[in-house]
Structure 1
Amino acid sequence: MKKTGLAILMAAAAAAFLTACGGTGKQAANTNASDLKKVTFVLDWTPNTNHTGLYVAEEKGYFKAEGLEVEIVQPPEDGAAVLVASGKAQFGMSFQDSMAPALAGENALPITAVAAVIQHNTSGIISRKGEGLASPKGMEGKKYATWDIPVEKAMVKDVVESDGGEFSKVQLIPSTVTDEVSALKSKSVDAIWIFYAWAGIKMEVEGLDTDYFAFADLNPAFDYYTPVIIAGNEFLKQDPETAKAFLRAVSKGYADAEKDPEGAARILLKAAPELDEKLVMESQKYLADKYQADVETWGYIDPQRWNKFYGWLNENGLSSPEIPENAGFSNDYLPQ
């Protein structure tokens, strides 16, 4: 699951993957492999339940039905954005928060979010149960595992101080957490920023009682989109029909994951057998009603919510230059 989109984006390394082949248009399900259009999708992290719809679409032939041969690949250390922007991959997994530095200024990248994988932000702060951290003020005097990223710290500061606490009293410990359950059990840290669908469910599976508060419940600006599927602007301009075909197939994959989470989990486990079966099953059930949630179309990005988060960044001096309204997303490629 996402460690943090910002950390991945700002890390420094690169890799190369094959550029997509030519050709456009939807094709029949029985298309010969040699006739399929090759598309590369870069994950944000190792396979997990954020990605299930991709693997379902592959397993059930939804990509092939659209005339596509999709290669799902692991990301380099700098994440999917650079590869997608360069055209070395057509699609990738990213996050609205980590896209922020890519949308304005000299380091802007030609990328666009074309679908929201999950409708609402499921991230928040988790801690051992009964130690006073059920609300943000309780972080005072406690050890928080920080990535030391300005946006991350500004969000934690916002919720702590809105709850009447003093952010300066939070002990910021450089994050070396690779296993959230072990980190809390060992008391090396008291509070960790997690995405509940994976790390929170892992706490439940392993029997650790916790307290948790979600960012989206505390500030409407923090109900941003995480994760999102991104595509390169030049690719979208030159080959919009392939983009639409890909998202038609993926939307079917996530619809199946919503209707049959256990069946979808088995498909993910087949693709990534190294994953813990119980964790995948329980995580898939947790996410089943969250992929599409309260919108009519899977993948839809609400402009008001999108702009609200970037507006908050602008207002708090966290983006220089400021991110323009409606920058970085489009609903134009989603199934109609």
Structure 2
Amino acid sequence: MRSLLTGVALLAAGAMTLSGCTGSANRNSTGTNGDNGKPTLTFMLDWTPNTNHIGLYVAQKLGYFKDAGIKVAILPTAQAGAETSVENGVSNIGFSKLTDVANADAQGAHLKQVFDLTQKPIARWCSLKSRTDIQTPKDFADKTFVTFGSAEQSASVRQMIKYAGGSGDFKTATAGTNTFRTLTSGKGDFAGFYANWEEVVSELNGPALNCFAADKWGVPGNPDQLGFIVKDSWVRDPKNAESLRKFVKAARKGYDYALSNPDKAADLLVAEAKTAHLDTRITRASMEKIVNEGYWSGAGMNDDSMNGKSGQGITATINTTDGQRYLDFQYEAGTYVDSHKKRLPKAPQADELSTNDYVK
């Protein structure tokens, strides 16, 4: 969802954020030994630092990576995207999602997801709450969708409209650097946001939004399996595979800390990711929402299984069943094409695009 984060991400792209080593000379695209004989890994963010990345910053600041015997450089988002950066060897590991791996591999990349942070859909399709003419996704029909031209997003929106009883037709407008502004200006009627960030911004600072989750309106599976990706050929090297295991274990410890100490972790992220100029109120509220609604663990504070207790660990595994249902849906919608813009002979396969070997 390229919306509120986009403008800040572009500003942040010129500088390295919170790295375990400094300067481009220390970037190591092969995961070989860095200073003091420790393997140095580079990690490419997908957007400007936010609570999706908080476990990485916690692991860096609290020494979890160091304790694991590795050095980690957290790189700012690249305009080409984390997928391209990992495929081209600019970074060893990147932050992405399963469906983006499917898109990249359809175009000839060789990527694999190895860690899934989000266990529940976090994407939301929203209009301004002041738009009383929009009460369900049916009312998106014939209105203007603020988008970056994603075929995947359009397929989801079309399905939501049809599921709600509408025609499935809508117009599009190109998103600017601030989707909130595009909506309030009247240039668009609805857009995509993230529940754990922009919906929080809306709740705290306005404008108020009326939001719908795709999985509640006819879109199957989980479209938002966000996590870590690597290149197949890189991880086939046993040394790199071992470094990746250490990285995943330390990062997971960082995310577990964030769930158990959401305010402390939020404050740490704000302090360490200075180039992002994060608002402490928003960052803390985002973590509160993540904990209470169970986006990382699959169980929220209000679920019976939690008995109202915080501190649960993240799940981290990729749900290939949910992933395949979504990939099949997008394939039928014609989303995935090869480098020649031709339809793939079959749907991308979740169990080929991912592995849980590194979170065991």
Structure 2-normalised TM-score?
0.80
- TM-superposed CA distance for 1:86, in Å, is 2.9
Q: For residues 103 and 308 of structure 1, what CA distance do their matches in structure 2 show?
A: 18
Counterpart amino acid of residue 179 in structure 1? N
Q: Secondary structure in 1 aligned to 2:149? A: coil
Q: For residues 301 and 71 of structure 1, what CA distance do their matches in structure 2 show?
A: 25
- TM-superposed CA distance for 1:180, in Å, is 3.4
Aligned length: 313
1:290 is matched with which residue?
295
Counterpart amino acid of residue 163 in structure 1? A
- TM-superposed CA distance for 1:226, in Å, is 3.5
- TM-superposed CA distance for 1:77, in Å, is 1.2
- TM-superposed CA distance for 1:296, in Å, is 7.7
2:28 is matched with which residue?
18
- TM-superposed CA distance for 1:191, in Å, is 0.8
List per-residue Cα deviations over 1:192-235 (Å, max 9, x = no partner): 11111111111111133221101122235252234221011122
1:48 is matched with which residue?
50
2:189 is matched with which residue?
190
Counterpart amino acid of residue 116 in structure 1? D
Q: For residues 195 and 216 of structure 1, what CA distance do their matches in structure 2 show?
A: 14
- TM-superposed CA distance for 1:297, in Å, is 5.7
| Structure 1 runs of 4+ with >4 Å offset | 1-4, 294-297
Contact 1:181 1:202 in 2 (8 A): no
List per-residue Cα deviations over 1:31-64 (Å, max 9, x = no partner): x952321000000011111100100010111100
Q: For residues 271 and 313 of structure 2, what CA distance do their matches in structure 1 show?
A: 30
Say whether 1:331 aligns with 2:356.
yes
Contact 1:100 1:323 in 2 (8 A): no
- Alpha carbons of 1:91 and 1:292: their partners in 2 closer, same or farther (altered >3 Å)? same
1:28 is matched with which residue?
none
1:27 is matched with which residue?
none
1:299 is matched with which residue?
316
Q: For residues 263 and 224 of structure 1, what CA distance do their matches in structure 2 show?
A: 30
Q: For residues 220 and 175 of structure 1, what CA distance do their matches in structure 2 show?
A: 23
1:9 is matched with which residue?
none
- TM-superposed CA distance for 1:115, in Å, is 0.6
Percent identity of paired positions between Structure 1 and Structure 2 = 25
1:271 is matched with which residue?
272
Say whether 1:119 aligns with 2:119.
yes
- Alpha carbons of 1:146 and 1:254: their partners in 2 closer, same or farther (altered >3 Å)? same
Q: Secondary structure in 2 aligned to 1:132? A: coil
Q: How does 1:1-336 map to 2 (within 5 A)?
A: 2-3=2-3, 18-22=28-32, 34-104=36-106, 107-129=107-129, 130-168=131-169, 170-176=170-176, 178-219=177-218, 221-238=220-237, 239-273=240-274, 274-288=277-291, 289-294=294-299, 298-319=315-336, 320-321=343-344, 322-325=346-349, 326-334=351-359, 336=360
Q: For residues 64 and 257 of structure 1, what CA distance do their matches in structure 2 show?
A: 18
- Alpha carbons of 1:38 and 1:231: their partners in 2 closer, same or farther (altered >3 Å)? same
5+ residue gaps, structure 1, are 5-15, 24-31
Counterpart amino acid of residue 125 in structure 1? W
Counterpart amino acid of residue 323 in structure 1? A
Counterpart amino acid of residue 41 in structure 2? V
5+ residue gaps, structure 2, are 5-23, 300-311, 337-342
Q: Secondary structure in 1 aligned to 2:220? A: helix
Q: For residues 153 and 112 of structure 1, what CA distance do their matches in structure 2 show?
A: 25
1:13 is matched with which residue?
none
- Alpha carbons of 1:134 and 1:327: their partners in 2 closer, same or farther (altered >3 Å)? farther
Q: Secondary structure in 1 aligned to 2:146? A: strand
Q: For residues 3 and 207 of structure 2, what CA distance do their matches in structure 1 show?
A: 20
Q: Secondary structure in 1 aligned to 2:121? A: coil
- Alpha carbons of 1:213 and 1:51: their partners in 2 closer, same or farther (altered >3 Å)? same
- TM-superposed CA distance for 1:137, in Å, is 0.5
Q: For residues 223 and 19 of structure 1, what CA distance do their matches in structure 2 show?
A: 31
Q: For residues 45 and 203 of structure 1, what CA distance do their matches in structure 2 show?
A: 19
- Alpha carbons of 1:315 and 1:41: their partners in 2 closer, same or farther (altered >3 Å)? same
- TM-superposed CA distance for 1:81, in Å, is 1.3
Counterpart amino acid of residue 112 in structure 1? K
Contact 2:138 2:166 in 1 (8 A): yes
Q: For residues 174 and 48 of structure 1, what CA distance do their matches in structure 2 show?
A: 24
- TM-superposed CA distance for 1:301, in Å, is 0.7
List per-residue Cα deviations over 1:93-118 (Å, max 9, x = no partner): 112222222223xx221111001121
Q: For residues 122 and 109 of structure 1, what CA distance do their matches in structure 2 show?
A: 26
Contact 2:64 2:250 in 1 (8 A): yes
Contact 1:103 1:327 in 2 (8 A): no
- Alpha carbons of 1:304 and 1:21: their partners in 2 closer, same or farther (altered >3 Å)? closer
